[in-house]
Structure 1
Amino acid sequence: MSVRGAARGSALWTVVAVVAAAITLPFGESVIGVQLAAIGRTFDAGGAPLQWLVNGYMLTFATSILVAGVAADKLGRRRLFAAGLLVVGLANALAIVAPSLGWLIGLRAAAGLGAGTLLATGPALLAARFPDDDKPRARAFAAFGSAAGSGIAFGPLVGGLVMDQFGWRAVFAVYLPFIVLAALLLGRIAPSRNPDAPPIDAAGIGLFVACLGLVVLAIQGSGYTATLRAGLVGVAIGLLVLLVWVERTQTHPAVEPGLFANPTFRVMSLTMTCWQIGVAISMVYVPAVAVAGLGASPAAAGASILPMAVLLFAATPLGPWLVSRAGIRGFVLACITTMALGDALVWASLTAPAPWPTIGLVAGLSLIGLGGGTANGSMDNLAMATIAPERAGMAAGLFQTVRIGSAALAVAAAGAVVAIGHHPSESLSGEAGVTARYAMLAGVSALVMLAVAGLCLVLLQSKIRKGHPSP
């Protein structure tokens, strides 16, 4: 084979390996909602302990991205990608036979660690393999995005179908063929690293992990008093202040607080937070509510998320069009308001008699998908558009941290409210209790998103007054 042909083959196998791994990333976040009620029955658990299956994964997923991105540049991207595959594969294989809820929570946290490593190293491998900004590079990244999106769209459905036939444990086996395929192709991926990569900012990463972990613990801690929760939040705030101070003294900070001084970056970060409130909470907990609250089968519960998932794909091209027609303010207002209206419709319908809960859930999820899909097509681009090229890498890493960190907090808060699982002593348990709690959550989410939309408009108006170009 010629050198050129070998290079093309290596490029193809790199894309296939990264795409196979990418499919598993959102699957780990989205499919657990289908499993929660059954896992709760198996281990006679509910409430906060059961929610740590979600929170443990999201917390390690969010925090490992910071470490893996820098470590991959220094130690080798292929090497870290292989480590991520190993951790995800082993964690999910062992989850199939987990003997207790504690073991399962620990394995889910390990899987989140591996998933964050794959998210940080997969795109880096593609960027190294396609260094030029050309059509093959664009196609490679489009394939990565589509693969990750397919996990959102079809993860709950596939998980529900598998669970209907083989039980909740078998769902963890769905990850394994994709992980094995990627692992078999490792030898065909060219190694790459950056010998001049900056040192790992251990202090910044440690403070960020501690801050995020304390907030999640305050939200989800079982049996904690209000005083203890307030104390945990107070310590987290203190660590956040210390993080800002420490990172301002670092030459190569892991978290650059100064980027939030940029009005557009700040507004896109708030828009991303609303996206997670609307989309991530629905993705995890609508299937769970469908099973535990509406009495649906796991397969039907998995299919319940499809209206949102389809529109998350279909509405993506609307983002650039909306920005060109209505500007950033119109884009932000339209996207957030549409998602808020979707959650408001879910709230109204779940408190109404049949058949309105089902009808309203489909319509509400469709609106969330429409607003989320439109936003998803342009948030990253707008966040990066006003950042100097020499700070682009740092800004991209921080924006991904905002993406996953806000998802972790949103899902933790939702889990504390919905409390899927076994509640033998609770008076408002069973279908009515779960449905009522999720309805309340959807209503509060709608109000929060509308408030954030107003804050975004104020921030963008302030940008204009300070002499920046009109958004």
Structure 2
Amino acid sequence: MSLSQPSNSPNHTIPFGWIVGITSLAFVVAQLDVSIVNIALPPIAKTYQASISTLQWVIDAYTLAFAVLMLSAGNLSDLLGAKRIFQLGICIFGIASIGCGFAGSAAVLIGFRVLQGVGAATMIPSSLAILNQAFAHDPAKRVRAIGLWTAAGSAAIAAGPIVGGLLIEISNWRYIFFVNVPLCLAGFLFSFRLIQSKVSVNRGFDIAGQITWMLSITALIAVIIEWPNYGFNHPVIFGGLLFSAVMLITFLLIEKKVKHPMLPLHLFDSPTFNVLLLLGAVLNGAYYGTVFTLSLYLQNVLHYSSLHAGLAFLPLTVGFVISNLLSGRIINRYGIRRPILVGLVMFTLGFAGLFIAKENTPYWQLFLPFLIIPMGMGLAVPAMTTGILASVDKSLSGTASAALNTVRQAAGAIGVAIFGAIGVGGSTAVLHSISVSASITIGSTLAVIALIFKHLKNKK
């Protein structure tokens, strides 16, 4: 069906399904490459004789670049127009995927994973900005669009291990990257149907803020990954932490004084914005870190093949799809507070179920936690995203969506780094990492629930 939008709304002549479909395609390829690589870690390790630390970099090189560049991409989306930035990002992602597939060494693979992260960081805030600007006049339609967009990304991140397992079974791990190419090509060609939104010609670009932010987060995640190799008292580790803290403080001072900040600090005046950012960090840090560990658990402890390990993650796909598709109706009826709270309770119960993971745990005992965790997350994330976008002026929609996704991706990279570091040392260490990740997740989620009760109003 066609949209009925006022003439000042971009994309007002484009059917609803086209706008959601084009933007969701970008989210699908970006999220797919968050999780599809997890299932390929053992064969990648065999190809390059790679250590756990190297495998962590294969994962985190992507999420790290994704995280540190997203704020800049959000600013560019508002500054130059969401359509242009969207098209640039999807081209970069497709080219980088080809490079990953042909990588001749672990170092080259990691390098192209960084470039993939650049493309993803450019696509995601611009795609969400396109949605927010297109449906800003109709909050109910915006909720529905964001729910479908989130459902597509969530299904992709959950389907990644399954798709990866199938591709590895019928060919080899390199095809997990080649599969992105036709999707990127389709997204780029279809994006020409979108109409360029208005740009903020009076806004500048915060180069100093971008550099200090990038250095701070990169140093922090590098320290966490390399901590097991050096030990906390090593000058490289201690110095890295100190450098990260100094750069973060410098970044905040720059953002406070610069005329056109990359991250306007007045956004943090809103308790709703702050609580929802924290929620995004907890959800992604827990999920990304645990999926990394569970991939090692299924293949290195339970000795599943890549295909069987991928199929074992099928409940994650089902759980995400079901809850995301229902979330729009639930948000429109009950507001954002109730679905977030219900989702977090389910998320907590699912992680509590992971304590049963042992050396000989039958799969049927893991099925319920694998289903409940994504169902809870799938209820909470669309409501969280809706709340973030509703809390800011639509002219800052690219920046706000970038802030949310920056926090989420940075937390995801940190989760992989921490839980992966705990899992170094064989089967016993992997099992210990699962129990630690479950304990940390349950405690942090309960803390967020308390904050939601205190600060989050029931907004639609």
What TM-score comes out, normalization by structure 1 length? 0.82
1:205 to 205, 210, 222: 210
How far off its partner does 1:82 sit? Answer: 2.5
2:165 to 157, 160, 166: 160
Residues 462 and 156 (structure 1 numbering): CA distance in 2 closer, same or farther, change over 3 Å?
closer
- Rounded to whole Å, the distance in 2 between the matches of 1:73 and 1:302 is 39
Q: Which amino acid aligns with 1:239?
A: M
Residues 394 and 449 (structure 1 numbering): CA distance in 2 closer, same or farther, change over 3 Å?
same
- Rounded to whole Å, the distance in 2 between the matches of 1:129 and 1:325 is 23
Please name the residue that 1:252 is paired with. 260
How far off its partner does 1:148 sit? Answer: 1.9
Residue 346 in structure 1 maps to residue 354 in structure 2: yes
How far off its partner does 1:359 sit? Answer: 3.0
Please name the residue that 1:366 is paired with. 371
- Rounded to whole Å, the distance in 2 between the matches of 1:123 and 1:7 is 16
Residues 7 and 83 (structure 1 numbering): CA distance in 2 closer, same or farther, change over 3 Å?
same
How far off its partner does 1:13 sit? Answer: 5.6
How far off its partner does 1:183 sit? Answer: 2.7
Residues 89 and 439 (structure 1 numbering): CA distance in 2 closer, same or farther, change over 3 Å?
same
Q: Which amino acid aligns with 1:243?
A: F
Equivalent position SS for 1:295: coil
Residues 17 and 197 (structure 1 numbering): CA distance in 2 closer, same or farther, change over 3 Å?
farther
Post-superposition CA distance 1:214-265 (Å, at most 9, x none): 1101101273231232221122122222222221223432224454454333
1:101 to 106, 120, 125: 106
Residues 18 and 265 (structure 1 numbering): CA distance in 2 closer, same or farther, change over 3 Å?
closer
Please name the residue that 2:8 is paired with. none
- Rounded to whole Å, the distance in 2 between the matches of 1:244 and 1:293 is 44
Post-superposition CA distance 1:355-406 (Å, at most 9, x none): x342332222223223322322422334456667787664443222222221
> Do the aligned partners of 1:332 and 1:453 also contact (CA within 8 Å) in 2?
no
Please name the residue that 2:441 is paired with. 449
- Rounded to whole Å, the distance in 2 between the matches of 1:182 and 1:411 is 29
Equivalent position SS for 2:24: helix
Q: Which amino acid aligns with 1:238?
A: V
- Rounded to whole Å, the distance in 2 between the matches of 1:444 and 1:57 is 24
- Rounded to whole Å, the distance in 1 between the matches of 2:95 and 2:376 is 37
Q: CA RMSD in A?
A: 3.5
Equivalent position SS for 1:226: coil
Residue 437 in structure 1 maps to residue 429 in structure 2: yes
How far off its partner does 1:412 sit? Answer: 2.0
Q: Which amino acid aligns with 1:350?
A: A
- Rounded to whole Å, the distance in 2 between the matches of 1:299 and 1:11 is 37
- Rounded to whole Å, the distance in 1 between the matches of 2:168 and 2:119 is 24
Equivalent position SS for 1:409: helix
Q: Which amino acid aligns with 2:276?
A: M
How far off its partner does 1:54 sit? Answer: 0.4
Residue 224 in structure 1 maps to residue 233 in structure 2: no
2:380 to 362, 375, 391: 375
Please name the residue that 1:313 is paired with. 321
1:268 to 249, 252, 276: 276
Residue 238 in structure 1 maps to residue 250 in structure 2: no
How far off its partner does 1:185 sit? Answer: 3.1
> Do the aligned partners of 2:420 and 2:433 also contact (CA within 8 Å) in 1?
no
How far off its partner does 1:469 sit? Answer: 10
How far off its partner does 1:107 sit? Answer: 0.6
Q: Which amino acid aligns with 1:248?
A: K
How far off its partner does 1:416 sit? Answer: 2.1
Please name the residue that 1:61 is paired with. 66
> Do the aligned partners of 1:163 and 1:299 also contact (CA within 8 Å) in 2?
yes
Could you list the runs of 5+ residues in structure 1 that have no partner in the other structure?
420-427
- Rounded to whole Å, the distance in 2 between the matches of 1:261 and 1:192 is 27
> Do the aligned partners of 1:152 and 1:283 also contact (CA within 8 Å) in 2?
no
Residue 73 in structure 1 maps to residue 78 in structure 2: yes
Equivalent position SS for 1:185: helix
> Do the aligned partners of 1:343 and 1:442 also contact (CA within 8 Å) in 2?
no
Residues 111 and 231 (structure 1 numbering): CA distance in 2 closer, same or farther, change over 3 Å?
same
Residues 127 and 324 (structure 1 numbering): CA distance in 2 closer, same or farther, change over 3 Å?
closer
Q: Which amino acid aligns with 1:225?
A: G
Q: Which amino acid aligns with 1:450?
A: I
> Do the aligned partners of 2:344 and 2:445 also contact (CA within 8 Å) in 1?
yes
Larger radius of gyration: 1
Could you list the runs of 5+ residues in structure 2 that have no partner in the other structure?
5-10
Please name the residue that 2:190 is paired with. 185
Post-superposition CA distance 1:107-130 (Å, at most 9, x none): 111011101111122233445556
Q: Which amino acid aligns with 1:37?
A: P
